[in-house]
Amino acid sequence: MKRAAFSQPLMPVALLLPQLVIIAVFFYWPAWEAIYSSFFLQDPFGFGSNFVGADNYTRLAKSSEYAKVAGFTVFFTVIVTVLSLGTALLLAVKADKVIRGAKTYRTLLMWVYAIAPPVAGFLGALLFDQNIGPITDLFAFFGYNLQIGLNYNDTAFAMIVVSVWKQIPVNFIFLLSGLQSIPVAVREAALIDNKSGTRRFWDITFPLLAPTAFFLLITNITYALFDTFGVIDIMVKGNPASNPITLVYKVYTDGFRGGDLGGSSAQSVVLMVLVLALTIMQFRMLERRIHYT
Amino acid sequence: MATVNVTDISKTYPNGAQAVHPASFDIADGELIVLVGPSGCGKSTLLRMVAGLEDITTGDLHIGARLVNNLDPAERDIAMVFQNYALYPHMSVAKNMAYGLKNRGASKEQIAAKVSEAAEMLSLTALLDRRPSQLSGGQRQRVAMGRAIVRDPALFLFDEPLSNLDAKLRHQMRVEIRNLQRRLNVTAMYVTHDQVEAMTMADRIFVLNAGRIEQIGTPSEIYRKPASTFVASFMGAPPMNLLLAQSVGGQVQIGGVALGLSCADGDVTVGIRPEQVAVTQGGTIPFKLTLVEELGASRLLHGTVAGQDFVVNAPNDDAALADDLMLDFAPDALHLFDAQTGQRL
């Protein structure tokens, strides 16, 4: 490969500088601050802080409340990922088979993707509104009083539904394009080799979709863990104590509501390690098995 | 191993375009049929209708004794080799070959025996554990063949299987496919746009044009007695010369020179193959030479006869050529076609 040469040695540095500054200011500095303050206990009134070593971490490990939130987070993440990927896969497979009016149909399904996430979250919240929400009305019709923000299970249900609903279009687009990148001739060869459509899907289509599906799996886990903050915030209605929340939301409530910056920092360091592990896993898997050519 | 009987099958797309006009033909057991024609002539569509990958709009298709119109491709007892090989990229060579058998309920022992037999036949034994991405084009083509062979189908279908290979490999695979088909004695339909493949491989050639079968015949019939100017100009390299001539007083003339043929008065198209023309001092037809193409064994002389383009395939004797030459045609080498319809007279 040809190497591009700069006549002045500072030129490449100057070109990289804006990007490096952004990364440093918005990623490395806050990350460092979080790690640093996780070893201190802050005065609730902001007058100072004491070094407490790993106390914040040991407190986390012993806290039954933290364990409960972590448990819910795992449950929430698995459910949201499975449902949003599964539903999107079903829709994509069906949309891929449509022959007449395929373009219109696909555009309609993708439109949701064009709605800004906060708007989508707000729409989702409206659907579950205590007074005007159609889903609340539907449950009332069947004799169940859906109480978002009051009943733990009801809130969890609404959070999952809205989070899944928001994520389906993204998954749908990726899966559909993944399906369409499978060569027609390969599918036709399978058509001759295997009579059963279901078996063809699991033997041929799904393995060829695996690179896309794996990428989406990681993205969806990350989404459920971190990007559902807005949905949760709307659903718990400022009353997190009796409601289900995820680890990210707990970082926020403990730090900004509870004033426990040290404990909250320790929690975010734990999450940082989690993200790091996910990223490493993604790179490893992408490098290794899932690509065929 | 089976016969194929086709009665009036046609294909019309929902938008009204007719890709295949009603066609009827029979294929004998063990025969290799080549469908040949230019792009868009409907040859691939016809093959895909037989495979079940395209619906048949009208007509009946029997493979063996069974009417298969409404059967799934997997139920038609056919195997197909695709232009881009269409191997399953996530499966090893062995699994690619075994997949069709596995789904038909063959036992593990049967599958293993079939696969190793086919691998032996195609010299793929050393490659059985490889993935398709680790194979060369020629090897992939062999795997695609192997996938078809292990199934022992009633009918082989080939959709331009060699067009992705380079010239040398293409020649080699051509011979190999032909030998295999003979040895296994399987009925086969083979689609190509390459008339050399058609001539060398076929028991019978079907020449297609604009969704219709123009002519069905053995390679030698197609070459010696083309049914129309389309077939005459499509088959043969370089193609047959077609000259517009007049019949006056029952005698066919070009530029005032009688050719020794008779037909009803009026315009007529005269065809003659470049390799059946002699350049001699004693010839009667003047030829104006414009370009010489060296082919080694022979050379192609491009020029005009009576103002119309004309090519002569002359032996390469290294003689210097004048610009004005005389040609001689044997009357029995000439073909007469209707000037309007292009049909053979």
Question: Any idea what the CATH number is for the domain that residue B166 is in?
Answer: 3.40.50.300
DSSP for B312-341? EEEE-------SEEEEEE-GGG-EEEETTT
pLDDT at A289 over 70: no
What percent of chain A is predicted at pLDDT more than 90? 30
According to DSSP, the β-strands at B66-67 and B58-63 are antiparallel
Interface subset of B 126-155, CB within 8 angstroms of A: 131, 133, 147
Write the single-letter amino acid at A198. Answer: T
The reply to whether B151 and B256 lie within a common domain is: no
Query: What's the pLDDT score for residue B128?
Result: 94
> B234, B257, B276 — which closes off a domain?
B234
The reply to whether B134 and B223 lie within a common domain is: yes
Query: Which chain B residue is nearest to residue A189, measuring alpha carbons?
Result: B86
Contact between chains at B80 and A194 (C-beta distance less than 8 A): no
Are B124 and B143 a contacting pair, CB within 8 Å?
yes
Q: How far apart are CA A14 and CA B327, in angstroms?
A: 78
Q: How far apart are CA B98 and CA B110, in angstroms?
A: 10
Query: What's the pLDDT score for residue A292?
Result: 57
Contacts of B90 in chain A (CB under 8 A): 207-208, 210, 292
In a domain, B189, yes or no: yes
Which of A192, A202, A204, A291 to mutate to test binding with chain B, by most B CBs within 10 Å of its CB?
A192
Query: What's the pLDDT score for residue A255?
Result: 85
In a domain, B86, yes or no: yes
Give the range with max mean pLDDT: A39-53, A115-129, A170-184, A248-262.
Answer: A170-184
pLDDT digits (tens, 9 = 90+) for A212-251: 898 899 899 999 998 888 888 888 877 777 788 889 999 9
Kindly report the CATH number assigned to the domain that includes residue B251. 2.40.50.140
> B200, B217, B234 — which closes off a domain?
B234
In a domain, B16, yes or no: yes
In a domain, B344, yes or no: no
Are B152 and B74 a contacting pair, CB within 8 Å?
no
Contact between chains at B73 and A192 (C-beta distance less than 8 A): yes
User: Backbone phi, then psi, for A103, in 5-degree steps?
Assistant: -65, -45
Average pLDDT, chain A: 85
The reply to whether B173 and B85 lie within a common domain is: yes
Positions of chain B with pLDDT under 70: 1, 318
A45 touches chain B (CB under 8 A): no
- Domain span at B160: 4-234
pLDDT digits (tens, 9 = 90+) for A263-272: 899 999 999 9
A62 touches chain B (CB under 8 A): no
In a domain, B345, yes or no: no
Across the strands, what pairs with B335?
A: B271
Q: Which residue has the tokens 């749908």?
A: A172
Question: Cα–chain-centroid distance for residue B309?
Answer: 26
Query: What's the pLDDT score for residue A165?
Result: 87
A193 touches chain B (CB under 8 A): yes
Hey, what long-range contacts does B242-248 have (CB within 8 A, 24 or more apart)? Answer: B242/B269, B242/B270, B242/B271, B242/B337, B243/B269, B243/B270, B243/B271, B243/B272, B243/B305, B243/B306, B243/B308, B243/B310, B244/B268, B244/B269, B244/B270, B244/B308, B244/B339, B245/B269, B245/B270
User: How many H-runs (helices) and E-runs (strands) does chain A carry?
Assistant: 14, 2
- Residue B77 gets the label, from left (phi > 0), alpha (psi -120 to 50) or beta, of left
Contacts of A292 in chain B (CB under 8 A): 89-90, 131, 133
pTM score of the predicted model = 0.81
The reply to whether B273 and B216 lie within a common domain is: no
pLDDT digits (tens, 9 = 90+) for B208-230: 999 999 999 999 999 999 999 99
Q: How far is CA A205 from CA A93, A184, B53, in A?
A: 10, 11, 17
Q: What CATH topology corresponds to A79-245?
A: MetI-like fold (1.10.3720)
**Mean pLDDT throughout A30-42?**
88
**Mean pLDDT throughout A98-120?**
74
Helix (H, G, I), strand (E, B) or coil at B118: helix
The reply to whether B73 and B174 lie within a common domain is: yes
ipTM of the complex: 0.85
Are A183 and A163 a contacting pair, CB within 8 Å?
no
According to DSSP, the β-strands at B187-192 and B155-159 are parallel
Across the interface, of B80, B84, B87, the residue whose CB is closest to A192 is B80
| Domain chopping of chain A, boundaries | 79-245
Contacts of B79 in chain A (CB under 8 A): 192
Contact between chains at B100 and A194 (C-beta distance less than 8 A): yes
Q: How far apart are CA A106 and CA A175, in angstroms?
A: 12
Contact between chains at A188 and B87 (C-beta distance less than 8 A): no
Q: How far apart are CA A94 and CA A88, in angstroms?
A: 10
The reply to whether B144 and B21 lie within a common domain is: yes
pLDDT classification of A129: cutoffs 50, 70, 90: confident
A209 touches chain B (CB under 8 A): no
pLDDT at A117 over 90: no
In a domain, B299, yes or no: yes
Contacts of A189 in chain B (CB under 8 A): 80, 82, 86-88, 147
Number of domains in chain B: 2
Are B301 and B314 a contacting pair, CB within 8 Å?
yes
> B214, B234, B254 — which closes off a domain?
B234
A78 touches chain B (CB under 8 A): no
Sequence-distant (≥ 6) Cβ neighbours of residue B210 within 8 angstroms: B41, B42
A194 touches chain B (CB under 8 A): yes
Contact between chains at B133 and A196 (C-beta distance less than 8 A): no
Query: What's the pLDDT score for residue B330?
Result: 83
Cis peptide before B238 (omega within 30 of 0): yes
DSSP for B164-221? TS-HHHHHHHHHHHHHHHHHHT-EEEEEES-HHHHHHH-SEEEEEETTEEEEEE-HHH
The reply to whether B193 and B260 lie within a common domain is: no
pLDDT classification of A291: cutoffs 50, 70, 90: low
